[in-house]
Chain A
Amino acid sequence: METKLASPWVKVIEGLKAWARINSPWVIHYNSGSCNGCDIEILATLTPRYDLERLGIKIQGSPRHADVLICTGPVTRQSRERLLRIYEQMPEPKFVVAVGSCGLSGGVFHGSYNIVGSIDEVLPVSAYVPGCPPRPEAIIHGVVALLESLKQPA
């Protein structure tokens, strides 16, 4: 049975949800065919110099706990199904950040027989971080830009 709340309450609850979401997004990382370069830069964002965790962002092992999927690399034919499965396991609302030139367009691997293409051909992508590989600052900027965009009322 659905409970209908009075409209001021809905507004308060929605605001609370958005506040919680923006301040502690849990992130899952999947490499769908990347060369590793973006992955080590994502790992570098967690380590002391960049320390993404100070923004409340935590890398999470299970897709069922994650809000944001950080995806690197072009999508290979073999990892396509896995990528979709991970995305489907994530609870709503969910967002995808594509990291690296390959994730954006296929990069140097464009046209190869085993590449499906860029990440946005498989999943809806909310933020794109270009670079080969993007600097850790750029990755942080991408995630923060995504969080900022959530502050706007939908």
Chain B
Amino acid sequence: MDLEPNKKFVVPIGPQHPALKEPGHFEFAVDGEIVTGATVRLGFVHRGIEKSAESRTYVQNLYLMERVCGICSHVHGTAFTIGVEHLAGVTVPPRANAIRVLVAELERIHSHMLWLGVAAHEGGFDTLFMYSWRDREKVMDILEEISGNRVHYSANVIGGVKFDISEEQRGKILSSLDFLEERTRHYLKVVNEDETFLGRTVGVGIMTREQAESLGAVGPTARASGVERDIRVDAPYAGYEQFPVRMITDTRGDLHARFVVRIEELFEAYRVIREILDHMPEGELTARVPRRIPAGETISRVEAPRGELLYYIKSNGTDMPERVKVRTPSLCNWGSITSVAVGHKLADMPMLLVGIDPCFSCNDRTITIKSAGVDLGWTWEDLRQHGIEAYR
């Protein structure tokens, strides 16, 4: 989008800014208080993970992939392991699949509660921010109890999971869930009834179903616009076949709908976790996996808290992948911001930005556009040199 800096006043925001905790640069062209154009500049946290993956073994890569994003680290690990298991032709034991889903849903709870707080903070509603983050600590306690770490739980190994859920842990999880469910009901009430909050959200940033589809929005952002798209339902992976989830959609497409969809998803997560704990399959936690993965290529898709996450893995028969491609949900949702923002007040921008639950660490990447007849296969040296030249 052309900003025409000579004619319009441009408000630059970032990369270091008090609102979001991650670096991203935005430029809003404004006419008075109304935004007439928006651009995003990403790439401040581009670390070159996809290229690094090619010089690490599959086991090392698992830990690298978990660190694509700190908030949704488990789904990244799950998508990667599902892909590698598919290449190796390994069937994961049902108990491991159930635990994967359990941790994924716990992660969804932690991510959505984190988002609720940050979104409320952007709207100037710090009380809700503090409350939701206080209650989020309960989920962090559960995750720490079962995995030993608050963030980056490393639940997955290739071929299964690392830890089991004991009877004692089951009781703790269930009692925490009761507390969380009650609190979530309260949040839903606040989001639906608080007048100042409704003033900031209802009718703001409306994205129609057609827009959402043409812009390629994914996850709760798309579902709030009535797009029925959820990998857990469309193409169940891990244990989602055994423990199905209900897709939550809303047709209004405004910020308020995004709040409601995410909070309703929390209830769904509580229900699924309870069901898993009640019907946990018995058996082994891991299957044997060969160190060298047979040559081939595969695609695995999972539903991250922010939407569809896609992994493409190409193996050449050694213990290191030849190519790993990650397509993260946040990058797909950025397009919706730059077009929806136009016509809104500048003061609505923070809420709109947060409305898609942006995560910068997973969407900063280099993209080269392949022109006809030019081979753009980059070697390790080319990339390193490019990294040095581009940011000198």
Contacts and interface: CB of A to CB of B under 8 A. Distances in A.
Interface of A: 28-44, 47-49, 60-63, 73-74, 76-82, 86, 102, 107-109, 111-115, 132-133, 135
Main secondary structure, interface of A, reads: mixed
Contacts of A28: 16
A14 to B, nearest CB: 31
Contact of B22 (A31, A62, A109): A31
Nearest to A49: B137
Contacts of B384: 113
A33 B130 contact: no
Contacts of A135: 150
27 contacts: A31-B21, A32-B44, A34-B70, A35-B68, A36-B69, A37-B67, A37-B70, A39-B22, A39-B70, A40-B70, A42-B21, A43-B21, A44-B140, A47-B117, A47-B129, A49-B137, A76-B46, A78-B391, A80-B391, A108-B63, A108-B67, A109-B48, A109-B52, A113-B52, A114-B387, A115-B47, A132-B152
B247 interface: no
B279 interface: no
B69 A35 contact: yes
A41 B386 CA distance: 33
B134 interface: yes
Contacts of B73: 35, 37
Contacts of B48: 109, 112-115
B324 interface: no
B17 A48 contact: no
B133 interface: yes
Contacts of B391: 76-78, 80-81, 114
Nearest to B383: A113
Contacts of A108: 63-64, 67
A37 B15 contact: no
B239 interface: no
Nearest to B22: A31
B16 A63 contact: yes
Interface residues of B, number: 48
Contacts of A43: 21, 133
B151 A114 contact: no
B42 to A, nearest CB: 10
A48 B360 CA distance: 26
Contacts of A107: 67
Given A34-B361, A81-B391, A133 B152 contact: yes
Most buried by B among A39, A77, A113: A113
B21 A39 contact: yes
B76 to A, nearest CB: 10
Contact of B67 (A35, A47, A82): A35
B380 interface: yes
Contacts of A115: 47-48
B1 interface: no
B45 A47 contact: no
B130 A48 contact: yes
Interface string B34-72: 000000000111111101100100000001100111110
B69 A79 contact: no
B284 to A, nearest CB: 28
A109 B71 CA distance: 17
Contacts of A60: 18
Nearest to A83: B16
A60 B17 CA distance: 10
Contacts of B21: 29, 31, 36, 39-40, 42-43
B65 to A, nearest CB: 10
Contact of A73 (B17, B45, B51, B140): B45
Nearest to B390: A77
B177 to A, nearest CB: 19
A36 B47 contact: no
A40 B45 contact: no
B354 interface: no
> When A and B form their complex, which 5 residue pairs have the shortest distance between CB atoms, in order from nearest?
A37-B70, A61-B18, A36-B70, A77-B391, A47-B133
Interface in B63-88: 63-64, 67-71, 73
A82 B68 contact: no
Given A86-B16, A133-B152, A44 B133 contact: yes
A102 B44 CA distance: 15
A45 to B, nearest CB: 10
Given A28-B16, A48-B130, A112-B52, 8 more contacts: A30-B16, A31-B361, A33-B44, A35-B67, A36-B361, A41-B150, A48-B134, A113-B380
B70 A109 contact: no
A135 B71 CA distance: 15
B51 A37 contact: no
B152 A79 contact: no
B359 A82 contact: no
Contacts of A41: 150-151
Interface string B123-161: 000000110011001001000000001111000000000
Contacts of A82: 15-16, 23, 44
